[in-house]
Amino acid sequence: MTGLGVLILGGTGTISTEVVRRAVAAGHRVTVLNRGQSAGSGRPTLPPDVRVLTADVRDTAAVRGAIGGQDFDVVVDFLGFVPDHVRCDIELFSDRVGQYVFISSASAYQTPPARLPVTESTPLRNPFWRYSRDKIACEDLLVATYRETGFPMTIVRPSHTYDAASVPMDGGWTVVDRMRRGLPVVVPGDGTSLWTLTHSRDFAVAFVGLFGDARTLGQAFHITSDEALPWNRIFGDIARAAGVEPTLVHVPSEVIARHDADLGAGLLGDKAHSMVFDNSLVRTIVPGWRALTPFAQGAREIVAWHDADPGRRVVDERLDALFDRLVASYRD
């Protein structure tokens, strides 16, 4: 189905930028609403035929004023993180949308998972990470509203989705910089747990394929690559793309958490556990879809993008110093 009127809340992030481009390429009429493009992200600008509305999505009156009396076939919320955000969306769009798509997270799944691969029927439970619990609460609200009123919602759970601008390990470019300086880099755990990385352009193909399909209403889908790699391989692919051989130092995730609570929440609540996904359900809506970008290729794109502009190669001095301390304690 083409030619849908699509409103995207957000539109300039790692996933949403590519979704906007894909939706336009598919022939949809796309409107983006946010506070203005993120300065300095380096990601491609929006296609010229995208309509841009400027408002703070947390200001319901401002959003209502910006969209006026418009109805939309599809509304996608990339900026909903807690139930109050979703309540505002339901209030705003309950009578003016054919499909409301909420961006949840695969980290909402049972952590650690009792069995692999993860399917959409895997229970939702994450006692380690508040971010994930908030996403679960958002989903619970949407499911209850769908059951009570028929609110036409679809839930999508991305896993770790990246683009050329995002180095997919804690520390970002700091990790690559350390590799190029010949310094050891910290790998959580023993580096053998399996992790799934999905390029945003692959994600966008399946995601946009869900638009306007009544079979998705009341349903939840994840969209991920079928390639699951150990963290040692992920670090190795980045290093090879950067033209170096890495020195890996393995540090227990619990130890990293004691040194940095924010890093620890994401590790214990997500990255420390093997996550392999069964994408059969999304393929019932988008037949034949699969992610086409192996991470080895994605790693080359990441390094090339950062090397194209010195201003993109940002080193976090605090994390660099933290990595030095962890290496000093755990290097073999």
Instruction: Please indicate, yes or no, whether the overall pTM of this predicted structure exceeds 0.85.
Output: yes
pLDDT in tens, 307-316: 999 999 999 9
Q: Is the pLDDT of residue 268 over 60?
A: yes
Higher pLDDT, 225 or 329: 225
Q: Is the pLDDT of residue 37 over 80?
A: no
The total of other beta-carbon atoms located within 10 Å of residue 1's CB is 11
Asked if CATH classification 3.40.50.1220 holds for the domain at 5-161+197-223, the reply, yes or no, is no
pLDDT in tens, 140-170: 999 999 999 999 999 999 999 999 999 999 9
Q: Is the pLDDT of residue 332 over 80?
A: no
The confidence score (pLDDT) of residue 25 equals 96
Q: Is the pLDDT of residue 1 over 50?
A: no
CA dihedral 136, 138, 143, 144 (to 10 degrees): 110
Cα–Cα dist 115/126, whole Å: 15
Q: Is the pLDDT of residue 93 over 90?
A: yes
The total of other beta-carbon atoms located within 10 Å of residue 181's CB is 10
Of 1-5, 58-62, 205-209, 241-245, minimum mean pLDDT range: 1-5
- Answer for the pair 203, 163: CB distance below 8 angstroms, yes or no: no
Q: Is the pLDDT of residue 108 over 80?
A: yes
Average pLDDT of the residues in 202-210: 98
Right CATH number for 166-196+228-275+296-330 from 1.10.1060, 3.30.1490, 3.30.420, 3.90.25? 3.90.25
pLDDT in tens, 237-251: 999 999 999 999 999
CATH 3.40.50.720 residue ranges of the chain are 5-161+197-223
The distance of Cα 259 from the centroid of its chain, to the nearest Å, equals 25
Q: Which residue in this structure is represented by tokens 């999905």?
A: 198
Cα–Cα dist 83/142, whole Å: 9
Cα–Cα dist 77/89, whole Å: 8
Whether a cis peptide bond, with omega within 30° of 0, leads into 112 is: yes
pLDDT in tens, 120-148: 999 999 999 999 999 999 999 999 999 99
Average pLDDT of the residues in 184-197: 96
Give a three-class secondary structure readout of the chain. Answer: CCCCEEEEECCCCCCHHHHHHHHHHCCCEEEEEECCCCCCCCCCCCCCCCEEEECCCCCHHHHHHHHCCCCEEEEEECCCCCHHHHHHHHHHHCCCEEEEEEECCHHHECCCCCCCCECCCCCECCCCCHHHHHHHHHHHHHHHHHHHHCCCEEEEEECEEECCCCCCCCCCHHHHHHHHCCCCEEEECCCCCEEEEEEHHHHHHHHHHCCCCHHHCCCEEEECCCCEEEHHHHHHHHHHHCCCCCCEEEECHHHHHHHCHHHHHHHHHHHCCCCCECCHHHHHHCCCCCCCCCHHHHHHHHHHHHHCCHHHCCCCHHHHHHHHHHHHHHCC
CATH 3.90.25 residue ranges of the chain are 166-196+228-275+296-330
The confidence score (pLDDT) of residue 39 equals 46
Structure tokens at 175: 């990790």
Q: What angle do CA 219, 162, 248 make, to 5 degrees?
A: 125
- Answer for the pair 159, 275: CB distance below 8 angstroms, yes or no: yes
pLDDT in tens, 43-76: 778 899 999 999 999 999 999 999 999 999 999 9
Whether a cis peptide bond, with omega within 30° of 0, leads into 310 is: no
If pLDDT is split at 50, 70 and 90, which confidence band does 42 have? low
30 closest CA partner among 65, 68, 70, 74: 74
The per-residue pLDDT of the chain, averaged, comes to 95
